[in-house]
Amino acid sequence: MSGWKNKRDVAAGRLRMPIDRWRRGAPTPRSGVCAAGASRGAGTPPPFSLVSLVLIRSLPRPILVFFAAFALAFTACTQRDPAPAGGTSNSPPVLRLSQRNEPASLDPATTTLPDEFGTLRALLEGLLLPGANGGAPLPGAAHRFEVSPDGLSYTFHLRPEARWSDGAPVTATHFIAAYRRALTPATAAPKASVFSDVKNAAAYVSGQLADFSAVGFHAAGPHTLTITLERPNPRFPYYVASGPWLPVRTDVVARHGRNWTRPDHFVGNGPFLLAEWRADQRIVVRKNPRWHGAAGVQLAEIHFLRFDSGDSEDRAYRAGQLDATMAVPFSKVPVYTRERPAELHRAPMIETRYLAFDTRRPALSRDARRALSLAIDRTKIVERVLQGGQIAASQFVPPQLRPATPPPPGSTAHDPAAARRLLAQAGFPGGRGFPKFELSGWTQSQVLEAIQQMWREELGVEVAISVREAKVHLDALRTGGFDIAFMTSIPDVADRAAMLADFTSGAPLNYPRWSSSAFDAALAAGRFDVAEEHLLEAAAVAPLYFNTKISLMSPRIRGWQEDGLWARCYHDVHLAGK
Considering the four listed CATH numbers 3.90.76.10, 3.20.20.120, 3.30.465.10, 3.40.140.10, the one that applies to the domain covering 114-256 is 3.90.76.10
The CA distance from 83 to 459, in Å, is 53
Eight-class DSSP state of 25: T
Proportion of the chain above pLDDT 90, given as a percent = 73
Type of residue found at 440: S
Secondary structure (3-state) at 130: coil
Looking at the chain, which residues constitute the CATH 3.10.105.10 domain(s)? 348-549
CATH of domain 348-549: 3.10.105.10
Average pLDDT over residues 346-363: 96
Higher pLDDT, 507 or 369: 369
Using the predicted structure, report yes or no on whether residue 170 has a pLDDT greater than 80. Answer: yes
Give residue 101's pLDDT band: very low, low, confident or very high (50, 70, 90): confident
Write down the pLDDT at residue 301: 98
The CA distance from 39 to 487, in Å, is 35
Using the predicted structure, report yes or no on whether residue 25 has a pLDDT greater than 80. Answer: no
Write down the pLDDT at residue 546: 97
404 Cβ neighbours under 8 A, 6+ residues apart: none
pLDDT digits (tens, 9 = 90+) for 177-234: 999 999 999 999 999 999 999 999 999 999 999 999 999 999 999 999 999 999 999 9
Using the predicted structure, report yes or no on whether residue 534 has a pLDDT greater than 60. Answer: yes
The CA distance from 198 to 195, in Å, is 6
Write down the pLDDT at residue 404: 66
pLDDT digits (tens, 9 = 90+) for 414-443: 999 999 999 999 999 999 999 999 999 987
Q: Which of 392, 353, 397, 373 is nearest to 501 (CA)?
A: 397
Write down the pLDDT at residue 73: 39
pLDDT digits (tens, 9 = 90+) for 459-484: 999 999 999 988 899 999 999 999 99
The CA distance from 3 to 444, in Å, is 8
Using the predicted structure, report yes or no on whether residue 24 has a pLDDT greater than 70. Answer: no
CB-count exposure of residue 150 (10 Å: 0-12, 13-18, 19+): exposed
Listed range (10-14, 245-249, 290-294) with the worst mean pLDDT: 10-14
Write down the pLDDT at residue 27: 33
Cα 16 versus chain centre, distance:
26
User: Mean pLDDT in the chain?
Assistant: 85
Average pLDDT over residues 537-563: 95
Helix residue ranges, H only, 349-399:
366-374, 378-380
Q: What is the 3-state secondary structure (H, E, C) of 409-459?
A: CCCCCCCHHHHHHHHHHCCCHHHCCCCCCEEEECCCHHHHHHHHHHHHHHH
Write down the pLDDT at residue 457: 97
Using the predicted structure, report yes or no on whether residue 284 has a pLDDT greater than 50. Answer: yes
Average pLDDT over residues 249-268: 97
Write down the pLDDT at residue 76: 35
Write down the pLDDT at residue 72: 36
The CA distance from 225 to 173, in Å, is 8
Give residue 5's pLDDT band: very low, low, confident or very high (50, 70, 90): very low
Looking at the chain, which residues constitute the CATH 3.40.190.10 domain(s)? 94-100+259-346+551-575
Cβ distance 294 to 264 under 8 Å? no
Average pLDDT over residues 299-305: 98
56 Cβ neighbours under 8 A, 6+ residues apart: 48, 64, 67
Write down the pLDDT at residue 222: 97
Length of the chain: 578
Average pLDDT over residues 157-166: 98
Write down the pLDDT at residue 86: 54
pLDDT digits (tens, 9 = 90+) for 103-139: 888 999 999 888 899 999 999 999 999 988 778 999 9
CATH 3.40.190.10 fits 94-100+259-346+551-575, yes or no: yes
DSSP H or E segment with residue 182: helix 172-183
Listed range (5-19, 191-205, 363-377) with the worst mean pLDDT: 5-19
pLDDT digits (tens, 9 = 90+) for 50-70: 334 333 444 455 444 444 444
Listed range (82-86, 229-233, 300-304, 335-339) with the worst mean pLDDT: 82-86
Q: Which of 150, 114, 121 is nearest to 274 (CA)?
A: 121
Write down the pLDDT at residue 413: 84
